[in-house]
């Protein structure tokens, strides 16, 4: 809590200065400030009951294994995702010499992580790699909640002061402080929402691949040569299609030249 007090000290100093500006509201403002300081220094109920609060855990997994039928394995995985009300956030396929693989990133409710992993990998005898990590973010979660509560309380005090402002200078200064607080509150709320999502939904990355027998060097070259020859033949016909007017002109000139020579050679 000492860190929180030091972090918000400049804003409380501004608040004290603004309160001192008001003639008729000094006493009332001072009382509010003392209440705010007491709340900041006194231990919160969240701190007293930290051990009773449910732990906030982020669970992530990463596995890789070989399969005999990549299509059948993919079908099994997607059926498990639908069964446990998860969703696929990323789906990538690769084809390399000797193997084709598929990487699927799954988000699933945290309570169903183990069940989905078990059902999606049924029949797998050996994992190339398997890594399951659990990160405890309870302390960060509580810290963010405490900071958010403090910011909102301070914002409300500025709002109350704004209602009592008597001139433009006071209004502008208070609105400036409120704007800064609102920006900080939105940033903290965004981080809190992110943590809640990571805690509620676990992430599982599954990579599964199927081995493809390597072709011999001769068969590979023969296959490549046949393909290249076919491609060249196609491009040849395409070229003829593009220059057919010129071909007709050349043929016409040749035929005309031959007819001319024959006539010239007759007596």
In terms of pTM, does the model score above 0.75? no
Question: What integer pLDDT is reported at residue 11 of this predicted model?
Answer: 56
Question: What integer pLDDT is reported at residue 222 of this predicted model?
Answer: 60
Averaged pLDDT, 228-248: 78
Contact in structure between 110 and 201 (CB atoms under 8 Å): yes
pLDDT score of 247 more than 60: yes
Q: Give the phi and the psi of residue 238 in degrees, each rounded to 5.
A: -65, -40
Tell me: the pLDDT tens digits for 114-135? 999 999 998 898 999 999 999 9
Ordered by where they begin, the domains of the chain are: 2-52+138-197 (no CATH), 57-136+202-211 (3.30.70), 218-267 (no CATH)
Question: What integer pLDDT is reported at residue 154 of this predicted model?
Answer: 93
Tell me: the pLDDT tens digits for 32-63? 434 444 444 444 544 444 456 788 999 999 99
pLDDT score of 202 more than 90: yes
Averaged pLDDT, 148-157: 94
Structure tokens at 72: 């059948």
């Amino acid at each position: 809590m000492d860190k929180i007090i030091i972090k918000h000290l400049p804003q409380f100093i501004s608040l004290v200065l603004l309160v001192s500006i008001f003639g008729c509201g000094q006493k009332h403002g001072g009382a509010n400030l003392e209440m705010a300081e007491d709340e900041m220094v006194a231990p919160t109920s969240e701190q007293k009951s930290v051990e009773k609060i449910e732990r906030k855990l982020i669970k992530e997994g990463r596995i890789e294994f070989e399969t005999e039928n990549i299509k059948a394995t993919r079908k099994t995985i997607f059926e498990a995702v639908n069964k446990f009300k998860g969703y696929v956030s990323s789906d990538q396929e690769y084809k390399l010499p000797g193997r084709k693989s598929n990487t699927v990133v799954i988000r699933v409710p945290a309570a169903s992580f183990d069940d989905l992993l078990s059902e999606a990998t049924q029949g797998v005898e050996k994992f190339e790699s398997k890594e399951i990590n659990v990160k405890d973010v309870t302390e960060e979660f509580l810290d963010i909640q405490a900071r958010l509560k403090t910011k909102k309380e301070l914002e409300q005090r500025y709002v109350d002061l704004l209602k009592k402002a008597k001139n433009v200078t006071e209004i502008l200064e208070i609105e400036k402080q409120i704007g800064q607080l609102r920006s900080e509150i939105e940033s903290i709320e965004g981080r809190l929402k992110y943590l809640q999502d990571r805690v509620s939904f676990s992430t599982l990355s599954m990579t599964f691949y199927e081995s493809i027998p390597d072709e011999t060097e001769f068969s590979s070259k023969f296959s490549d040569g046949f393909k290249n020859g076919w491609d060249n033949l196609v491009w040849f016909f395409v070229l003829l299609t593009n220059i057919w007017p010129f071909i007709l002109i050349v043929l016409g000139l040749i035929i005309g030249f031959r007819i001319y020579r024959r006539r010239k050679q007759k007596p």
